[in-house]
Chains A and B, each alone.
Chain A
Amino acid sequence: MENFIKNHKAFFYLLLIFFAIFSGTGIFITLNTSSKQPTVVNKELSKTVTESVVVSSDPATEGALSLTTIKDKVLSTDREFVVDIIADSNGKNITGYDLALSYDPIAFDFVKATSSRTDFKVYSYNRGNYLSFLVTKLPQSEKTSVFAQTKIISVVFKPNKKGAYNFSLKSEINKDKTDLVTDKTEILNPILSGLEVKVL
């Protein structure tokens, strides 16, 4: 070994310098990344979704609608994620509702929306920079539909790019509104919440 080092001094020092630079750089970048983002980052491009609630300032009269998703869910580029809409109808029996869901169409592709209740049917409209849903209770259903922090609809998206984005229910965009309609055909304008999503 000593002979080898003597015969290949240049090789040995180059190897030592290279190893030091490699290790130092690796440690520095790893620590730097970890301090900013505790999420594990795969060698493949990965995305992390975290959530927080953004309360809108839209006027409200009765009931509430909010958005939620699974916290800290790590997604790969081709993995979809679900935004659930939670409703509170303030004790009223709901026979239909409208949703105007604002999102960034460049960062996400809308995949589908599914009602959590089988006696409600969802009609989806992609308006470009927002989604409009008309959800109506089937005429033959005789079940009552009083929402109390009830998941009413799941909206599936596929993330496309990194960044922080907001999903928010808007009281009105163009002609599309967010509201709940009761069995007395009374329109409720609920308190609306949003969801901040971070894609890494």
Chain B
Amino acid sequence: MKNELIKIITIFLIVGGVVFWGLNYIYFSNNGPKSKAAGETINLTFIDATVTTSASSPDFTVKLHAKPSQNAYFRGYDTKINFDKTKLVFKSIDYNFGAASNGLGDTTNNLTAINAAEVIHVVGESQVAAGSLLTLATGGDLVTVTFTALDHTTPASVTIGDTVFYSINTTDMSLFSGWAFDKGTLSVNGVSTPTATMTPEPTVTQTPGSCSLTACSACASHPGYSYTYSPACTSSCSIGCDNLWPLWVGEDATGYVNTNNDDYVRTAACVTACDTGGTPIPTATNTPTGNSTLNLAFKIQGIMSKPVTTTMNVKVKLLNETTKVETPFQTVQLTSNDFGIWTGSASFNTVPNTRYTLYAKGEKQVQKKICDVSPNETAGGTYRCSTGNLTFVSGNNTFNFSGILLLSGDLPEQDGTINAYDTSLIRNNLGKTDADTISKCDLNLDGRCDSQDYSLLISTLSVKNDEQ
């Protein structure tokens, strides 16, 4: 009897175990306990939450800190850090919690794109399959970000955008993303008081072009500063002062730079005040002003011989691969030869023995990134590169980029991408030959807007956006 009882108990334990497992599978597989209770939050804050910069020390570094309302293991996170590019320039990012998700998370390598978009897309993931622990007690730093404040007297803020965290349900190792967030804001120079000092006192030397002005009455209202332009202007100067003075930072829209490497954005009032008696500046000038003259040759998609229109403007800029600083765009007027090769010259101040990337964007083309001295491609428009390998010497530098195509499709007014506006612009004007239409949609420059132009645009949809 005793042996039989043991046998029965054993069978019951086994059957009970199987039934329990079955119940667990049926009922808990979908509704099992999560890695966090509903309603739990994560505090996202910047450390420090307030930052003050100075003229001599414009860079600052902050950490994005996450602190959950209960301990949890996290597999990944996806958040956005928003900033104003007119006030701050993104410089670098380091991932402290896990690593950047390959192809998704922004890194310092995406510096140009980040600054253009004014948002850092932070996507990181734990390198441990079971996730990494963030505790209620201490939390953890997600990333360390460095910015440059363009003007220490202008308040700026950095905010946190759409955010998702993926924690791991330790029961079944499933991912959970239902966390709520309490987001902090970073205040930069929020309490600083503008000071009216600028050392050295600006002396304007306008380049390129010939326009200057003798005094700016609007600027003269700021004691101790005046502007001496030489030779004198008559009209349409593209350089001057602004009402934001003395916040003289960055570049103006035209890319003109004075000797202090400061620049000016003029208000309408200042233009009126300053331009009386000046001389006009050519809007598109190829006048060499830098130490390096770039003699460039390009090939444009769809143009195989000398077109009806034989000149076009292409904007060119350089990216210093060491400092990651871009020059302003220079407009280069290109002229076509009989074979549809377009040549022209631009001038830049370059640093010897430094590698650069060149970006070229035509009036109706998407931006092309060029890294190599003599780039080539087997199929039109397929050349791609990552890091610039162009070096320059003082004086003439000749580059033949006609081995690759500048792809067409981003029509005026350009916005850096090919979209329905561009396709519709050609589609809605098929067959037209008037000057206004041709100036916008004639991609192959044959004097008419037709299906060939439409086909060229469609073929560029494999690229769509400006290369960055």
Contact = CB atoms under 8 A, between A and B. Distances in A.
B421 A187 contact: yes
Given A107-B177, A128-B104, A164-B178, 19 more contacts: A10-B5, A11-B5, A14-B8, A18-B19, A29-B27, A30-B27, A33-B27, A33-B31, A96-B420, A96-B423, A106-B166, A123-B464, A134-B423, A136-B458, A175-B415, A181-B420, A181-B421, A182-B424, A183-B424
B423 A41 contact: no
Interface of B: 5, 8-9, 12, 15-16, 19, 23, 25-27, 29-31, 78, 103-104, 117, 121, 164, 166, 174-178, 415-421, 423-425, 427-430, 451, 454, 458, 461, 464-466
Nearest to B4: A8
B428 A177 contact: no
A161 interface: yes
A96 B417 contact: no
Nearest to A97: B420
B23 A134 contact: no
B78 A129 contact: yes
Contacts of B25: 43
A174 B425 CA distance: 22
B464 A134 contact: yes
B8 A11 contact: yes
13 contacts: A14-B8, A26-B23, A95-B420, A96-B421, A98-B420, A128-B103, A129-B78, A139-B427, A139-B451, A163-B176, A177-B419, A179-B421, A185-B421
Interface in A138-174: 139, 161-164, 174
A185 B440 CA distance: 12
B30 A14 contact: no
A139 B464 contact: no
Contact of A136 (B16, B103, B176, B423): B423
A88 interface: no
Given A135-B420, A185-B424, A200-B30, A29 B23 contact: yes
- Which among B104, B417, B418 has the highest number of chain A CB atoms within 10 Å? B417
- Which among A43, A128, A185 has the highest number of chain B CB atoms within 10 Å? A185
Contacts of A136: 420, 423-424, 427, 458
A175 B417 contact: yes
A185 to B, nearest CB: 5
- Which among B25, B26, B27, B419 has the highest number of chain A CB atoms within 10 Å? B419
B3 to A, nearest CB: 13
B420 A134 contact: yes
A139 B430 contact: yes
A129 B105 CA distance: 11
Given A18-B12, A137-B427, A175-B415, A45 B420 contact: no
A161 B23 CA distance: 22
A90 to B, nearest CB: 16
Nearest to A121: B458
Interface string A178-200: 01111111010000000000001
Contact of A181 (B178, B424, B429, B464): B424
Contacts of A161: 174-175
Nearest to A93: B428
Query: Can you list the 3 inter-chain pairs with the closest CB atoms, starting with the nearest?
Result: A96-B420, A136-B423, A175-B417
Contacts of B27: 29-30, 33
Nearest to B27: A29
Interface in A48-93: none
A183 B420 contact: no
A104 interface: yes
Nearest to B457: A136
A164 B176 CA distance: 10
A72 B126 CA distance: 35
B124 to A, nearest CB: 13
A97 B421 CA distance: 8
Nearest to B117: A174
Nearest to B103: A128
A36 B31 CA distance: 10
A134 B30 contact: no
Contact of A175 (B177, B416, B458): B416
Contact of B174 (A96, A123, A162): A162
A134 B418 contact: yes
A4 interface: no
A26 to B, nearest CB: 7
A137 to B, nearest CB: 7
A185 B78 contact: no
A200 B464 CA distance: 37
A183 B428 contact: yes
B30 to A, nearest CB: 6
Contact of A10 (B8, B15, B423, B424): B8
Contacts of A162: 30, 174
Contacts of B19: 18, 22
